[in-house]
């Protein structure tokens, strides 16, 4: 049974969409930006794991952060695939 889609859900999805598009546009102007953000986040998260008494929400935040950055980075793979197939020219 699925739960009701709330206004808070809509806001979260809208923020995610806006963040993805902004990251992708910034990466087009500064190639490698998203990869750099991913590497930085992974380093930060590795350091956090060394802390004792880490709040339970922190690993979930790390997972979501990396998922969002990897989703943002996927546009390049999609563009490369389309270019190889001769689409989008």
CB neighbours (10 Å) of residue 69?
Answer: 22
Higher pLDDT, 88 or 33: 33
Look at residues 36, 48, 44, 47 and name the one whose alpha carbon lies nearest to residue 72: 36
CB neighbours (10 Å) of residue 72?
Answer: 22
For 5-53, write each residue's pLDDT tens digit.
999 999 999 999 999 999 999 999 999 999 999 999 999 999 998 998 9
Q: Where are the alpha helices (DSSP H) in the chain?
A: 7-29, 33-49, 57-85
């Amino acid at each position: 049974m699925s739960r009701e889609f709330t206004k808070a859900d809509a806001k979260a999805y809208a923020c995610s969409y806006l963040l993805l598009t902004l990251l992708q546009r910034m990466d087009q102007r500064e190639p490698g930006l998203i990869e750099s953000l991913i590497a930085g986040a992974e380093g930060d998260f590795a350091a956090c794991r060394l802390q004792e008494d880490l709040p339970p929400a922190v690993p979930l935040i790390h997972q979501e952060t990396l998922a969002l950055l990897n989703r943002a980075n996927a546009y390049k793979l999609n563009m490369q695939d389309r270019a190889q197939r001769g689409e989008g020219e």
